[in-house]
């Protein structure tokens, strides 16, 4: 990644203005999701955000439970650095598929790991009834 290829969302780099807080939070979460654990200095280099702005964002995302601190990395120059990573329990997502012969559901954590899944075979009459019910609720 060269310096011009800093992480972007919708073609925009990070911004230092408070009005851009949500954009910057999304930018940081996207970076950590794509590249895995990252230190503040690595995030700063990829987003162009100042250390102070980044500290506020990281603290906010940690308070929300979306990011968590990893084990301190020793053995490099200066003070040990702390990598940041996505908190698997920070959010969950549900995916569903309703087919003619089955219904499937999956629960995924914030890191993309499947936590639970469910599959049930349906009789044609059950699938038709579910389909009609869903159409009525549009």
Residue 3 has pLDDT above 50, yes or no: no
Q: Are residues 73 and 21 in the same domain?
A: yes
- Region 106-121: mean pLDDT is 96
Q: Which of 48, 3, 11, 4 has the alpha carbon at shortest distance from 28?
A: 48
Q: Are residues 84 and 106 in the same domain?
A: no
Strand ranges, E, within 6-135? 67-69, 84-86, 92-98, 102-109, 114-121
Secondary structure class of 32 (helix, strand, coil): helix
Left if phi > 0, otherwise alpha if psi is -120 to 50, otherwise beta: which for 23? alpha
Q: How many CB atoms within 10 Å of residue 17?
A: 9
pLDDT of residue 2: 40
Looking at the 3D structure of the chain, how many domains does it have?
2
pLDDT of residue 11: 62
Q: Are residues 48 and 80 in the same domain?
A: yes
Per residue in 6-58, pLDDT (tens digit) is 555 566 665 556 567 888 999 999 999 999 999 999 999 999 999 898 999 99
Per residue in 78-102, pLDDT (tens digit) is 777 899 999 999 999 999 998 878 8
Q: Are residues 10 and 62 in the same domain?
A: yes
pLDDT of residue 80: 79
Contact between 112 and 102 under an 8 Å Cβ cutoff? The reply is: no
Q: Are residues 17 and 72 in the same domain?
A: yes
Per residue in 57-80, pLDDT (tens digit) is 999 999 999 999 999 887 767 777
Q: Are residues 45 and 98 in the same domain?
A: no
Identify the domain containing residue 70 by its residue range.
3-88
Q: In what order do the strands lie in the sheet with 114-121?
A: 92-98, 102-109, 114-121
> Using CA atoms, how far apart are residues 30 and 125, in angstroms rounded to an integer?
43
Q: Are residues 74 and 96 in the same domain?
A: no
Residue 1 has pLDDT above 70, yes or no: no
Residues 34/35/38/41 CA torsion (nearest 10 deg): -100
Structure tokens at 58: 């990281």
pTM above threshold 0.85: no
The CATH number assigned to the domain holding 25 equals: 1.10.10.10
């Amino acid at each position: 990644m060269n310096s011009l290829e800093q992480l972007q969302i919708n073609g925009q780099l990070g911004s230092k203005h408070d009005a851009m807080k949500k954009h910057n939070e999304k930018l940081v979460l996207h970076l950590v999701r794509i590249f895995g654990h990252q230190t503040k200095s690595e995030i700063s280099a990829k987003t162009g955000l100042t250390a102070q702005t980044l500290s506020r964002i990281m603290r906010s995302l940690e308070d929300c439970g979306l990011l968590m601190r990893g084990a301190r990395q020793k053995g490099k120059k200066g003070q040990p650095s702390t990598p940041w990573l996505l908190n698997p329990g920070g959010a969950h997502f549900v995916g569903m598929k309703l087919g003619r012969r089955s219904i499937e559901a999956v629960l995924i954590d914030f890191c993309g790991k499947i936590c639970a899944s469910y599959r049930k075979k349906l009789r044609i009459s059950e699938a038709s009834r579910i389909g009609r019910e869903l159409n009525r609720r549009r």
